[in-house]
Amino acid sequence: MVSLSDTAAAGALEAGDTALLLASLEQAPVAMAVVEGPEHRYRYVNAAFRALPATPAAQPGGRLVDGFPGLADGLEEVRRSGRTARVSDLAVTGADGRTRVWDIDCAPLAGSEGARGVLVTMHDVSTKAAALKATEELLREVNHRVKNSLQLVSSLLTLQALSSKDTELRRQFQEACGRIGTIAQVHQRLYQSQTYSEVAFGAYLRDLCRELGGSAAAAGRTIAVETDDVDLPADTVIPLALVVNELVSNAVKYAYPEGQPGEVAVGFRVQPDGRKSLTVADHGRGLPEGYDVARADTLGMKVIRAFIGQLKGKLRAEPNVPGTRFVVDLPA
């Protein structure tokens, strides 16, 4: 087999054997066209291009943008600048009434006065787009079912708690239900999201604290939230939300003496370099003397440390004068 890079073949083309070149383009399996001028009229189309159902005017003198109106700006930019460009995911309804999705490469053809024409190469990615849409719908349905399953588990635990006469056991069941509910909320957000992989964390954090505030109100506590709006991956949101749940619940229960009202402040900030910080603060009685967050052996603190470790973050506690501020530092 002779390659066009071989000396003999290259010499033949240099000698003006345009017939061979045109025959090759005509039989190429990829749809190609050459358009010229500000109206992007066809100068040449190959057989694969003429067969496209979206191009009823694919003949000399016809305009490419009549069949692909979304290409006009891209073609003009290539013609003006002399630089190649790609137009991706262009949906076009063809003469057969079917909508197809195209990736279109546009390359300038230089003449004596710069780019005088544009070589257009078409790639039908409809199958890929359909597969992507099907995958997104599947993920959407998975998140919906996971959320429903978690709610079912939470309901079963609630029934189990109600059947027990042990106050401490009921409290533990309620805490477990709260953790499960936090995860279920994330999957609900993913179900409602357009990306199915990221969550608008600012909105989610406000909703989470609003729910926690419902139970906190019975103890005279309020929860205030200040947060930046940022999209985070689901595998970041779930552990981070559980950390918020634990820290806020602990502050509601232990920061203030029984019967004394108080506020728990939750903040989430994103730094310009991508680092993030979560704070949960109160103005209560403060931590006990010698309390060390790295050594505390309560279940809540073990859960907090485990998930912060999963996020490769660091936890610290500092005085809030009065009260305590827990800070979670997360890397970019």
pLDDT for residue 1: 28
- φ and ψ at residue 248, rounded to 5 degrees: -70, -45
Q: What is the mean pLDDT of the chain?
A: 83
- Superfamily of domain 197-330 in CATH is Histidine kinase-like ATPase, C-terminal domain (3.30.565.10)
pLDDT for residue 55: 57
SS3 of 94-155: the string is: CCCCCEEEEEEEEEEEEECCEEEEEEEEEEECHHHHHHHHHHHHHHHHHHHHHHHHHHHHHH
Tokens of 216: 């906190």
pLDDT digits (tens, 9 = 90+) for 170-180: 888 888 888 88
Grade residue 26 by pLDDT with cuts at 50, 70 and 90.
confident
pLDDT digits (tens, 9 = 90+) for 234-250: 889 999 999 999 999 99
- Name residue 232's amino acid: L
What whole-number percentage of the chain has pLDDT above 70?
A: 89
Grade residue 16 by pLDDT with cuts at 50, 70 and 90.
low
pLDDT reading at 113 higher than 70: no
pLDDT for residue 6: 43
Grade residue 229 by pLDDT with cuts at 50, 70 and 90.
very high
Domain residue limits, the chain: 27-124, 197-330
Q: Report whether 313 contacts 331 (CB < 8 A).
A: yes
pLDDT digits (tens, 9 = 90+) for 121-152: 988 887 776 777 777 777 778 877 888 888 88
pLDDT reading at 199 higher than 90: no
pLDDT reading at 267 higher than 90: yes
pLDDT reading at 67 higher than 90: no
Q: Can you tell me the mean pLDDT for 67-76?
A: 84
Percent helix, strand, coil in the chain, to 5, is 45, 25, 25
pLDDT for residue 227: 96
pLDDT for residue 262: 94
Topology adopted by domain 27-124: Beta-Lactamase (3.30.450)
Q: Report whether 26 contacts 46 (CB < 8 A).
A: yes
pLDDT reading at 4 higher than 60: no
